[in-house]
Amino acid sequence: MSTQDSDALNQRHAARMQRKKEVVDAKIAAATDERGVIVITTGNGKGKSSSGFGMVIRAMGHGMQTGVVQFVKGAFATGEELFLRQFAEQCQFHVMGEGYTWETQDRTRDIEKAVAAWDVARTLLSDPAIGLVLLDELNIALKYRYLDVAQVVADLQARPPMQHVVITGRGAPQELIDVADTVTDMAVVKHAFQQGIKAQRGVEL
Amino acid sequence: MSTQDSDALNQRHAARMQRKKEVVDAKIAAATDERGVIVITTGNGKGKSSSGFGMVIRAMGHGMQTGVVQFVKGAFATGEELFLRQFAEQCQFHVMGEGYTWETQDRTRDIEKAVAAWDVARTLLSDPAIGLVLLDELNIALKYRYLDVAQVVADLQARPPMQHVVITGRGAPQELIDVADTVTDMAVVKHAFQQGIKAQRGVEL
């Protein structure tokens, strides 16, 4: 590219970015509310729980207290559990479920576990000292109707006004989406698992 | 619900979950490869970077060494940076970019910064001691053609065989998707920002 062409390209870039900055700045200026938000990550793609854990460390980086309730426990401790257990004073970590529903195959017991998990969640949701609560795989418990969605919504809405809640799992029910502030649907474009690659530590576990 | 109805429901549940378990177990048995994977999180929805940081702490929980290169730096230190800087021995954290392209408005300088960031990334990608590398917002640098995608792909493919790489950012180029193992497209269902809520510490920052 000649110097002249390159200069022209750089100038067009600067002009385009200036217009973009005006649009972005106007949007930022319009967003003035500050309050606790409900974030939902749902869909079949990879990244729902890890996104929730990313927000937990974000909050911890700002000195906030956090709480985690895992509604579905895997066969062994995940990396995030091993890691966050080191921070008992800044992160209350509760692994409440026993496993995926197709592992337990016992609906009555699954319901008991989900109800017990929700009791722990409700304690976190009523504590204004906790800045962010992660309810990992809660959507699964709702999808199978192990918990009453109306009760879950009522408890979420009664939480301290500045508290953030992140809810993960496939199949988020519409009632929950309706009361959420930010909802992301994570779709699979491709997955290593489909290509015969085992779940990898640090990535899936 | 009568006890009889409830028993029947529980039995149907158990039978359905047993069939599901067979399907899941067969898939798990078929996935036997173990190697480093490339994970991409892209799309316009919230959760791309936080998902990457969730994988960083997953890996750290398993005792792995990690590296982070942020190709786009915000105006101030994010919670994840503040948090992970405490772990200098287990996480090399490099903030290389200066800001979004519409903030800098300077294409020549953006390119210099992107090239310098890729040099750091390449050092991490050639170190077999590092189990997981997060290249946060790399897709942005590729989208604006600040880096040569063919060179990026070549460097990724030359990395140690057990090293995982997570790449985030909107608009992942097809050349990168082609060589990735797991790709998630994160779509906005709704976003707090659209409802006038400021970016919140612990959630967006």
Q: Looking at this predicted complex, what is its ipTM? A: 0.86
Q: Which of B86, B185, B71 is nearest to B133 (CA)?
A: B71
Among A42-51, B23-32, B103-112, the minimum mean pLDDT is found in: B23-32
In which band, very low, low, confident or very high, does the pLDDT at A98 lie, cut at 50, 70 and 90? confident
Collect all residues of chain A within an 8 Å Cβ-Cβ radius of residue B183.
Answer: 188-191
**Judgement on whether residues A71 and A3 belong to the same structural domain of the protein:** no
Kindly identify which residue of chain B lies nearest to residue A19, measuring between CA atoms: B102
For residues B82 and B15, state if they share a domain. no
Examine the domain organization and report whether A1 and A67 are in the same domain. no
The Cα of B119 is separated from the nearest Cα of chain A by a number of Å equal to: 23
In this predicted structure, which of A133-142, B25-34, B41-50 has the lowest mean pLDDT? B25-34
Query: Are residues A189 and B183 in contact, defined by beta-carbon separation less than 8 angstroms?
Result: yes
Domain total in chain A: 2
Q: Please tell me the least confidently modeled range out of A28-37, B124-133, B180-189.
A: A28-37
B96 compared with A147, residue with greater pLDDT = A147
Tell me, what DSSP letter sits at residue A180?
Answer: -
The 10 Å Cβ neighbour count of residue B168 is: 29
Q: Using alpha carbons, select from A16, A5, A4 the residue that is nearest to residue B110.
A: A16
CB atoms closer than 10 angstroms to residue B167: 28
Structural domain span for residue B25 = 1-32
Q: Which residue of A has its CA nearest to B57?
A: A80
Task: Say what the pLDDT of residue A163 is.
Answer: 97
- One-letter identity of residue A162: M
CATH number at residue A74: 3.40.50.300
Summary mean pLDDT of chain A: 90
Any idea which of A61-70, B40-49, B71-80 has the lowest mean pLDDT?
B71-80
Q: Are residues B38 and B10 part of one domain?
A: no
> Cβ separation of A58 and B79 shorter than 8 Å?
yes
Indicate whether A200 belongs to any domain: no
Q: Which residues, 6 or more positions from A168, have their beta carbon under 8 angstroms from its beta carbon?
A: A40, A41, A42, A48, A49, A51, A52, A134, A135, A136, A137, A138, A139
The answer on B67 and B23 residing in a single domain is: no
Q: CA of A154: how far to CAs of A179, A181, B189, B199, in Å?
A: 10, 15, 22, 25
Regarding whether A124 and A171 lie in a shared domain, the answer is yes
Q: What pLDDT score was predicted for residue B74?
A: 64
* Chain A residues with CB-CB distance to B40 below 8 A: 189
Clarify whether residues A4 and A21 are in a common domain: yes
Coil vs helix vs strand at A33: strand
Same domain, B73 and B161: yes
For A41-105, give the secondary structure using H, E and C: EECCCCCHHHHHHHHHHHHHHCCCEEEEEECCCCCCCCHHHHHHHHHCCCEEEEECCCCCHHHHC
Position B75 scores a pLDDT of 60
Contact B183, B56 (CB under 8 A): no
**B99 and B165 co-located in one domain:** yes
Query: Number of Cβ pairs closer than 8 Å across A and B?
Result: 295
Exposed/middle/buried for A70, CB within 10 Å: 0-12, 13-18, 19+?
buried
* Token code pair at residue A134: 């992660």
In this structure, the answer to whether residues A24 and A102 fall within a common structural domain is: no
Chain A residue closest to B197 (CA)?
Answer: A33
Find the mean pLDDT for residues B83-104: 85
Q: Is residue A202 situated within a structural domain?
A: no
Does residue B145 sit in the same domain as residue B71? yes
Q: What is the pLDDT of residues B171-198, one digit of tens each?
A: 999 999 999 999 999 999 999 888 888 8
Inter-chain CB proximity B35 and A183 less than 8 Å: no
